[in-house]
Amino acid sequence: MTSAEPAPGRPAGPPVATATGLCKQYPGVRALDSVEFTIHSGEVRALLGRNGAGKSTLIRLLSGVETPDAGEVVIGGEPLGDGGVRRAAELGVATVYQELSLVPEMTVAENLFLNEWPRRGAAGIDYPRMRREAAEVLGELEVPVDPGALVGTLPLAEQQLIEIARAVRRRPRLLILDEPTSALAAEETHTVLSAVRRIADSGVAVIYVSHRLDEIRQVAGSVTVVRDGQVIDTVDVRDATTPQIVALMLGTTVQEAAALEPRTVDRTRTPLLSVRGLKLPPKLHGVDFDLYAGEVLGIGGLLGSGRSELLRAIAGFEPRAERVIEVDGARVARPTAAAMKKLGLGMTPEDRKGAGIVPMLGVGENMVMSWFGGVSRRGSISPALAERAGRDLVERLSVKTPRLSTPIVNLSGGNQQKAVIGRWLHARSRILLLDEPTRGVDVEAKQQIYRLVRELAGNGAAVVFVSGELEELPLVCDRVVTLQQGRIHREFTAPDITLDNIMAATMAVEV
Ligand SMILES: Nc1ncnc2c1ncn2[C@@H]1O[C@H](COP(=O)(O)OP(=O)(O)OP(=O)(O)O)[C@@H](O)[C@H]1O
Ligand SMILES: [Mg+2]
């Protein structure tokens, strides 16, 4: 069917937004090519496609952030023209972008009303009303956050929930969510999904971008598949099997993901990394574990259980942390970030934008900057070596970019994430701490990352793998520990690393 028809399987209200013949070109990339798209009131439509397929570009055109090279966007019967974000907002579009856009120095309430602060006469901003309405919408979405808290002090997941609350607060008729759950664990994801369903049931049209098919099935009536800038098809989620949807997305039939080879890890040797008594109040109250060469250790835990803080503390980024760290059996006297790096530790942070990338530098530079030694000759950087290393990484990770020198900020979200991973591949770290390494990457790229992680471990590296998507852990880990109340609570080794076991342990249910 064509996407101009009502979504299958859903009662069609009137069309809320229509795009016809949309084209958008960036230097070296045709991001959108003659796209037709219609969404009706009360409908939740998933947008699915590989990294770089054009999903976020379509969203930016519907939201007025960018104007198409050709084609037209009509919202509620009115052409958007080149009216920009302001006009789109007037017409009832509210968008949660893939990259967070909150102001860390402001409170939650101020962020929810950014630039639209309720006024009270000449006296200025009506703070009581702002706080009241903020509390209301936060309550509606079941976000347990104080409206007076500074956004910068909140964990990433809560920030993501606040982004969503900000869009919902405007009572839009078209709500667009670009990967709204990528920083959330299962429980919060569930909250977001039910909120989205409720919002749609009240007549709002919702566009929902996600790489997680299970989520799409729970929340959306239909899914529009985008590939290489074109809309390939729109199908009812109940009629299409997952392999069918994935095949539409990739343009080829896919093989079942090969089960990963079980490996034996020698845990009788001296651990590569030992952590003892790691304390970082109020989250961590004494974490102990050993990590062996050749091992992938998963860490499970609920949102806020301190997984990211744990990695940051080991890597030397939490000066307040108390801990004893040994590398190769030798105590590290002062485990600062510089000292840990020198000992061969690499880390990818969960917040790509805040800590991972240098936005205006090229993709290649962003990757090789982790180890200039690897691309230097006689003490200075060799452009030829840097180029070769960059090309190799782009190929191994299938990073979609026109050139190595393209500023990384111009890549799609998932391709930025792959480049961040390229960085630690380049650094050849012996100890790798990966915080949500597959966030925002498509299903195929996920498999690629699992294979790379296993390969690195196979070559003697020790890896810590943190993921809120608990179903990833059995696929990639040799051992999984779960955090609870600031301590390690349970430990599973293959074959007991099952989703059921990990879920039960993180939810504090005894199994
Ligand atoms: N500002 C920009 N400048 C140059 N190229 C861009 C820009 N924005 C997007 N692109 C390119 O357009 C293409 C489509 O990108 P888009 O962000 O729409 O992908 P996406 O489907 O959202 O992918 P992802 O799942 O990784 O988020 C990509 O090749 C991307 O590199
Ligand atoms: Mg995107």
pLDDT in tens, 39-84: 999 999 999 999 999 999 999 999 999 999 999 999 999 999 999 9
Return the pLDDT at 260: 61
Distance CA 53, CA 35 (A): 12
Ligand 1 binding pocket includes 54 (Cβ within 6 Å): yes
Task: Give yes or no for a contact between 233 and 223, defined as CB atoms under 8 angstroms apart.
Answer: no
The reply to whether 7 and 81 lie within a common domain is: yes
Q: Cα of 258 to ligand 2 centre, how many Å?
A: 27
- Is residue 265, in this structure, part of any structural domain at all? no
Residue 323 lies in a domain: yes
**Ligand 2: distance of its center to the CA of 415 in Å?**
9
The span from the CA of 157 to the CA of 163, in Å, is 10
- 152 and 245 housed in the same domain: no
DSSP 3-state percent helix, strand, coil across the chain (nearest 5): 35, 25, 40
Considering Cα of 11, then 12, then 16, then 22, what sign does the dihedral take?
positive
438 and 504 housed in the same domain: yes
212 exposure class (CB count in 10 Å sphere: 0-12, 13-18, 19+): middle
d(CA 345, CA 365): 20
Query: Is 196 part of a structural domain of the chain?
Result: yes
Instruction: Measure the CA–CA gap between 131 and 426, rounded to whole angstroms.
Output: 48
Nearest CA to ligand 1 atom 7: 410
341 CA distance to ligand 2 middle (Å)? 31
Clarify whether residues 107 and 162 are in a common domain.
yes
| Residue numbers of the domain that contains 443 | 271-344+430-511
The backbone torsions φ and ψ at residue 355, rounded to the nearest 5 degrees and listed phi first, read -130, -10
Residue given tokens 């369903």 in the structure block: 197
Nearest residue CA, atom 1 of ligand 1? 410
Number of structural domains in the chain: 4
Q: Does 118 map to a domain?
A: yes
Give, for ligand 1, the residue of 95, 411, 439 to mutate: max count of ligand atoms closer than 8 Å to Cβ.
Answer: 411
Ligand 1 center from residue 449 Cα (angstroms) = 20
Which ligand lies nearest the alpha carbon of 211?
Answer: 1
Residue 479 lies in a domain: yes
Cα separation, 408 vs 210, in Å, equals 21
Residue 18's pLDDT is what? 97
> DSSP character for 354?
I
Q: How far apart are CA 320 and CA 44, in angstroms?
A: 45
Rounded Cα–Cα distance for residues 50 and 413 (Å):
11
Domain end call among 387, 402, 428: 428
Please give the distance, rounded to the nearest whole angstrom, from the Cα atom of residue 21 to the centre of ligand 1: 18
Among 56, 31, 50, which residue's Cα sits nearest to residue 444? 50
Q: Are residues 81 and 184 in the same domain?
A: yes
Both tokens of residue 417? 């994430």
**Which residue has tokens 């940051």?**
312
224 lines ligand 1 (CB under 6 A): no
Residues of the chain under the 70 pLDDT cut: 1-12, 123, 253-261, 303, 353-355, 508-511
Does a structural domain hold residue 98?
no
Does the beta carbon of 53 lie inside 6 Å of ligand 1? Answer: yes
Between the CA of 178 and the centroid of ligand 2 the distance, in Å, is: 7
- Of ligand 1's atoms, which has the minimum distance to the CA of residue 414? 26
What is the 171 CA–ligand 1 centroid distance (Å)? 28
User: Checking phi first, is residue 224 left (phi over 0); if not, alpha (psi -120 to 50) or beta?
Assistant: beta
Does residue 117 have its Cβ closer than 6 Å to ligand 1? no
Closest alpha carbon to 98 in 150, 47, 169, 134? 47
Same structural domain, 200 and 316: no
Residue ending a domain, choose from 428, 449, 474: 428
Ligand 1 center from residue 53 Cα (angstroms): 7
Comparing CA positions, the residue from 58, 102, 44, 356 lying closest to residue 231 is: 58
Ligand nearest to the CA of 442: 1
Which ligand 1 atom is at minimum distance from the Cα of 53? 21
Q: What is the pLDDT of residue 9?
A: 47
Same-domain check for residues 149 and 240 = no
Q: Which of 23, 24, 26 to mutate to test the pocket of ligand 1 (most atoms within 8 A of CB)?
A: 26
Residues 369 and 242 in one domain: no
Two tokens, residue 158: 């809560």
What is the pLDDT at residue 166? 93
Q: Which residue, 258, 179, 273, 250, is CA-closest to 461? A: 273
For residue 354, what pLDDT is reported?
62
Look at the alpha carbons of 98, 104, 108, 109 in this order and tell me if their dihedral is positive or negative.
negative
CATH number for the domain that contains residue 205: 3.40.50.300
User: Would you state the pLDDT for residue 119?
Assistant: 82
Q: Where are the alpha helices (DSSP H) in 17-120?
A: 55-62, 84-90, 108-112
Query: Within a domain: residue 262?
Result: no
User: For residues 262 and 448, what is the distance between their CA atoms, to the nearest angstrom?
Assistant: 17
Q: How far is the CA of 61 from the centre of ligand 1 (A)?
A: 12
Report d(CA 463, CA 465) in Å as an integer: 6
Co-location of 147 and 276 in the same domain? no
CB 42 within 8 A of CB 11: yes
The pLDDT assigned to 257 comes to 55
The three state secondary structure string of 29-75 is EEEEEEEEEEEECCCEEEEECCCCCCHHHHHHHHCCCCCCCEEEEEE
Q: Are residues 377 and 419 in the same domain?
A: yes
Q: Atom 8, ligand 1: which residue's CA is nearest?
A: 410
Return the ligand number nearest the Cα of 32. 1
Q: How far is CA 7 from the centre of its chain?
A: 27
Chain length of the chain: 511
Q: Which residues contact 132 (CB under 8 A, 6 or more apart)?
A: none
Q: Count other C-beta atoms under 10 Å from residue 261's C-beta.
A: 7
Would you say the CB of residue 298 lies under 6 angstroms from ligand 1? no
Let me know: does 114 contact 125? Beta carbons within 8 Å.
no
Neighbours of ion ligand 2 (CB under 5 A): 56, 98, 412-413
Residue 344 Cα to ligand 2 middle (Å) = 33
Of 402, 428, 454, at which residue does a domain stop?
428
Residue 350 in domain? no
**CB 97 within 8 Å of CB 180:** no
> What is the SS3 assignment for 331?
strand
Q: Which ligand is nearest to the CA of 49?
A: 1
301 with 449, same domain: the answer is yes
Name which residue sits closest to atom 6 of ligand 1, judged by CA.
410
The DSSP bridge partners found for residue 40 are 15
Quick one: 440 and 331 in the same domain? Answer: yes
- Cα–Cα distance for residue pair 8/468, rounded to 1 Å: 32
Which among 164, 204, 178 has a CA at the least distance from the CA of 63? 178
Q: Whole-angstrom distance between the N-terminal and C-terminal Cα of the chain?
A: 47
